[in-house]
Amino acid sequence: MIELLSIDLSNYCSKQCPFCYNHSTRNGNTIWEPQEVIGFAIDCIKSGGVKAVSLGGGEPFEYEGVFDIIDALYPLCYLSVTSNGLPLQNDETMNCLKAHKPDKIHITIHRPDNESEVDRVEHQMDQISALGIKPGLNLLVGADNVEYAKVVYSRFLKVLKPDQIILVPQRFSNTPTPKQLAAVTLGRTFQSPSCLLKCEPPKNFCSVSWDKNVNYCSYAEGKQQLQTLDYKGLMLALSKVRFVSCETQSV
Ligand code: SF4
Ligand code: SF4
């Protein structure tokens, strides 16, 4: 049973990280219409029992119509948005958020060694809290920046609870070992993807990509196209997935 549904709204993102798992760029495409996202997610909630929806991208706050989607889904499920935080520096976006709130916003730090990125995201945690939205941090950890990630993790524990911080191992290359990831927290228990020790497709989660393909994990190959934008279409596509671990791929 799928309880957690992740939907990538586009593969447009002005940050253009070289390691982006779905190759989002400033030339990235947008295929989902806001009303399609709304209709699809509502059917998955009402017909399929989905309890939580997570909006990603691309950069969701650079997707026109994101606040319509937030308004439509917020009353029906636990709604979170994952952002790089850059659009939240824009007053217009913050004003929209005051009126159209998701339950939670995760902001990702991609470069723990980048002081200005870390300072910005720390400030944004306060700004999000002040709006009455729960903040969360996704801390991307590469094998080459474990020491910086340790410092950032300790720093954010002063403003967030441990369950608000997710350690995300960089994939495809520069991937840290499980031991390196654990070292970031200096021995504390921590949150990270459940596949840290062994690639196992999640059982209650699935990911729908910007081009309307489906898999149990956003990083895995073998996605299948949605034939219809509803829960039935989701189940049919998932039944055809040929899951290929990200460990066999390289960017
Ligand atoms: S911010 Fe996220 S979506 Fe944008 S390019 Fe970087 S990894 Fe990809
Ligand atoms: S493909 Fe496997 S190892 Fe890679 S992120 Fe997904 S579940 Fe984890």
Q: Give the Cα separation of 57 and 38 in Å (integer).
A: 16
Pocket test for ligand 1, best of 7, 12, 15 (most atoms within 8 A of CB): 15
Residues 167 and 238 in one domain: no
Residues 77 and 146 in one domain: no
Strands, sheet with 205-208, edge to edge from the N-terminal-most edge strand: 165-169, 134-141, 104-109, 78-83, 52-56, 4-8, 205-208, 213-215, 224-225
**Distances in whole angstroms, Cα of residue 90 to Cα of each of 75, 120, 128, 215:** 26, 13, 13, 33
Contact 227, 236 (CB under 8 A): yes
Q: Which range of residues forms the domain containing residue 168?
A: 103-192
Sequence-separated contacts (24+) of 177-180 with Cβ below 8 Å: 177/143, 180/141, 180/143, 180/146
Rounded to two decimals, what is the model's pTM? 0.95
Residue corresponding to tokens 């911080």: 165
Q: What type of residue is 140?
A: L
Residues 163 and 131 in one domain: yes
Rounded to an integer, the average pLDDT of 107-120 is 97
Helix, strand or coil, per DSSP, at residue 80? strand
Residue 70 belongs to a domain with what CATH number? Answer: 3.20.20.70
Q: Give the Cα separation of 133 and 98 in Å (integer).
A: 9
- What pLDDT digit, counting tens, does each position of 5-48 carry? 999 999 999 999 988 988 999 999 999 999 999 999 999 999 99
Q: Ligand 2 centre and the CA of 65: distance in Å?
A: 30
Decide whether any atom of ligand 1 lies within 6 Å of the 24 Cβ: yes
Atom number, ligand 1, closest to the C-alpha of residue 57: 3
Atom number, ligand 1, closest to the C-alpha of residue 23: 8
Residues 206 and 96 in one domain: yes
Q: Give the Cα separation of 101 and 81 in Å (integer).
A: 10
The ligand minimizing its distance to the Cα of 219 is: 2
Residues 183 and 107 in one domain: yes
Domain end point (choices 176, 192, 208): 192
The two beta strands, 213-215 and 224-225, are antiparallel
Residues 45 and 93 in one domain: yes
Residues 11 and 76 in one domain: yes
Residues 92 and 110 in one domain: no
Question: In sequence order, what are the beta bridge partners of 81?
Answer: 55, 105
Alpha carbon nearest to ligand 2 atom 5, residue:
219
Residues 123 and 232 in one domain: no
Residues 95 and 19 in one domain: yes
> Total structural domains in the chain?
2
Q: Ligand 1 centre and the CA of 59: distance in Å?
A: 7
- Which of these, 11, 60, 34, lies nearest to 213 by C-alpha position? 11
- What pLDDT digit, counting tens, does each position of 188-239 carry? 888 888 888 888 888 899 999 999 999 999 989 999 999 999 999 999 999 9
- Which of these, 168, 73, 89, 76, lies nearest to 128 by C-alpha position? 89
Contact 85, 137 (CB under 8 A): no
Domain end point (choices 192, 211, 235): 192
Residues 82 and 166 in one domain: no
For residue 249, name the pLDDT band (cuts at 50, 70, 90).
low
Alpha carbon nearest to ligand 2 atom 2, residue:
199
Residues 63 and 122 in one domain: no
Domain end point (choices 143, 175, 192): 192
**Distances in whole angstroms, Cα of residue 186 to Cα of each of 147, 182, 192:** 11, 7, 15
Decide whether any atom of ligand 2 lies within 6 Å of the 77 Cβ: no
- What pLDDT digit, counting tens, does each position of 152-187 carry? 999 999 999 999 999 999 988 899 999 999 999 988
